[in-house]
Structure 1
Amino acid sequence: MTAPIVTSADQLTAEWLSDTLGKDVESVRAEAVGTGQIGTCFRLELTGVGEPTTMLAKLPAIDPATREMLAGVYRSEVRFYGEIAATVAIRVPRCYYADISSSGADFTLLLQDMSPAQQGDQLAGCTVAQARDAVENLAGLHGPRWCDPALLDVDGLAVNGPDDAKLLAEMYGPATEIFIDGLGELVAAEDRETLWECVGVAEKWALAHPERFGLVHGDYRLDNLLFPPDGGPGVTAIDWQTLSLALPARDLAYFLGTSLSPEERRAHERDLVAHYHRALQSHGALDYGLENCWEDYCFAMIQGPLVAVFGCAYGTRTERGDRMFAAMVARSCAAIRDLGTIDLAGSATAV
């Protein structure tokens, strides 16, 4: 990597891209895409010699103070594409360039343009066939580095410790209050009760099962998945800012609990968990039994309300966002009650 990090669209010149990609780029046209809440993103159209002719450029937020605040988030995504993606089997956009400053506030990512793939719709939910495709792809993240001790040496990755769990518990209550007050009638009374039960067991939940750890996307949901336009299999996962080490079933429970209606989840979750488990074993996690997988899935369902509550309470509020987070909480809280998650979390002990 000889080209410098760039942080704005006007720096994405033909000369810079030629140096970065090792190909002759004659001209470039940049078009802004996305909402720009975490950073800025541009679709680049290139003319010159060779492929690709389009790609996406992800850059930091415009505001310097926002960049400093999000440095950890930026490091996570650059680390994934630069160090980890090649070691796992999950489908992700190809990365052409990834670099970040020592402070973490400035970064540049050049990624494969996945169009005409279609982004999932978190509010609408997904079909069972899409869910099957998504959990099989998810196993490609978890399986290849299942309980890999080398992950513990990766800068920025660590399994939750007591201090982390205590901080989570301290923050979760106020966030839940903000969430419930802010969404009002969008949150049913029974779901409010379940949300507060989650707060009560959050610290134990965060510390449980450290013996089973792996790479966890952290926000593996429909809005962060791109589906083939023909309706067939081949989903791709994007947005790796929340990568961590934790119980892998958190991703599985989060996805199924927030993506399917309660009726479809109840009818198909056993089969979908078994499908994920088979894929997981095909990637090398042979010492992990199906019953353990099911138990972890039931236990991990708190990931749904946890992410939704914090995302809504401390993110930028929009009408669609409010309805989306309300739907995620309604679906995942129903799963928590169905599966006995609160009892499982309350009785959990750290190994």
Structure 2
Amino acid sequence: MSTSGPLPTALDGITADWLTAALSVRAPGTVVRSVEVESVIWGTATKVFLRAEYETCPPDGPPAALCLKGGFDDTMRAVAGIGYQVEARFYRDIAALLGDAVPRCWYAAEDPAGNQGLVIVDDLRDTGVVFGGPSVRFDVDQVAQGLATLASVHGRTWQRRGVGSLDWLTVGSMLFRPVVESFLTPAHWDAYQQLPQTGAFDDALRDRDRVDRAVHLLWASDDAAPLSVSHGDPHVGNTYVPADRVPRFLDWQTTCLAPWSDDVAYFLVGALEVEDRRKHEEDLLRHYLDALASAGGEAPSHSEAWDAYRRHHLHGLMFALCPPEMQPAEVCRQMGDRYATAALDHGTLALVLGD
């Protein structure tokens, strides 16, 4: 499902001929008569919504409504180009492991020389799904189901088993970690302490030097932990919910090898209102550990898992520092509040630093 060579980096490169060549990799016999760019969502990755008219298309071929994802903004491609390539590799090599828990993919290709990666998936907007976000209230059962999906991936690739051994998988995300480093620079950090996004930070969380040291200590600890395939960024905004109400996951640009607790803490805390999280997080963690063991992972004891969960709220804390090019400011405020409150509830900073 992957091709090599130059890929379009501007919208005018999305032609009927190019789309025919792309779709024919997965669906031989597909010929596109015309293609229209219906709309574009600019962000960390650009989402280009296409409407294709086919000259010929096999019965099990692509639908008319498609979503093309990748780097069509030169500034963002310079920052996130590796993420676009990683997402293409995920759909090429790993997505089949998740079945219908991810969007159906028709094309995945990378162009390292052009710092570009592209995927074509179904336009989920035409299927009646609800896209996740901090304003979309998830109930506890839905969070448990999402955790079970993550446990399935973690367990089946535990200690680099199966597709966890792929040579392109890095320990820690090649996209996320450099972005965090940029957030922790004094200029960026100081600017964001004045915004509502960090309104839930206390004095300890505003101490840039301590947070920076804690983040690097956490990464060092993570790199020595049991590793499995990780989504790397499974916040609620990277989910969608079809008719069965079971959350699925989008945006696999940060796919990497990481400890289970990174995905779990990031998804669980971001998906629930603060009081719901406080009430149910221990039971949800137990549910995840059972699912992990069932999927073939070596689940730690509950006390070990609880400490690992408490340590990993630093990842979510970075949401409060996201610039508007990556996430809308109000989303960052809502998510920043959830993650900062969890970090304070669990004494995350002191736990990681050993205070």
TM-score by length of 2: 0.81
Structure 2 partner of 1:270 = 282
1:295 equivalent among 307, 328, 336: 307
Moved more, 321-330 or 31-40: 31-40
1:58 to 53, 65, 69: 69
Matches within 5 A, 1:25-36: 25=31, 26-36=33-43
| Cross-structure match for 1:202 | 215
Work out the CA distance in 2 between the residues paired with 1:142 and 1:270. Answer: 19
Over the aligned positions, Cα root-mean-square deviation in angstroms equals 3.3
What displacement does 1:119 show? Answer: 0.5
Q: How far is 1:66 from its partner?
A: 4.2
Q: 1:79 to 1:335 in 2, by over 3 A?
A: same
Partners of 2:251 and 2:230 lie apart in 1 by 12
8 Å Cα contact 2:71-2:117 kept in structure 1? yes
Deviation digits for residues 181-218 of structure 1 (CA, Å, limit 9, x no counterpart): 2338x604x53533435345222122114222222222
Q: Report how far residue 325 of structure 1 moved.
A: 1.4
**Contact 1:68–1:104 (8 Å) recurs in 2:** no
Counterpart of 1:303, as a letter, is H
TM-score between the two structures when normalised by the length of structure 1:
0.82
Match of 1:220 in 2: 234
Q: CA–CA distance in 2 between the matches of 1:89 and 1:148?
A: 20
Aligned-pair identity (%) = 25
In 1, Cα distance between equivalents of 2:265 and 2:227? 15
Q: 1:176 is matched with which residue?
A: 189
* CA distance in 1 between partners of 2:238 and 2:179 (Å): 27
User: Structure 1 residues 244, 29: closer, same or farther in 2, change over 3 A?
Assistant: same
Contact 2:217-2:353 at 8 Å conserved across structures: yes
Aligned residue pairs total 336
Following superposition, the deviation at residue 178 of structure 1 comes to 2.3
| Inter-partner Cα distance in structure 1 for 2:217 and 2:296 | 29
- Is contact 2:62-2:106 (8 Å) kept? no
Instruction: State the one-letter code of the partner of 2:153.
Output: L
Which runs of 5 or more residues in structure 2 are unaligned? none
Q: Mark the CA change 1:166 to 1:70 in structure 2 (over 3 Å): closer, same or farther.
A: closer
Q: Structure 1's 301 and 237: CA in aligned 2 closer, same or farther, altered over 3 A?
A: same
Please say if 1:79 is aligned against 2:89.
yes
- Tell which deviates more after alignment, 290-299 or 271-280: 290-299
Contact 2:320 2:335 in 1 (8 A): no
Q: Cα distance 1:297–1:202, how it changes in 2: closer, same or farther (>3 A)?
A: same
Aligned partners of 1:165 and 1:207 also within 8 Å: no
Deviations 1:37-70 (A, max 9, x none): 533422334444323323222242143x543443
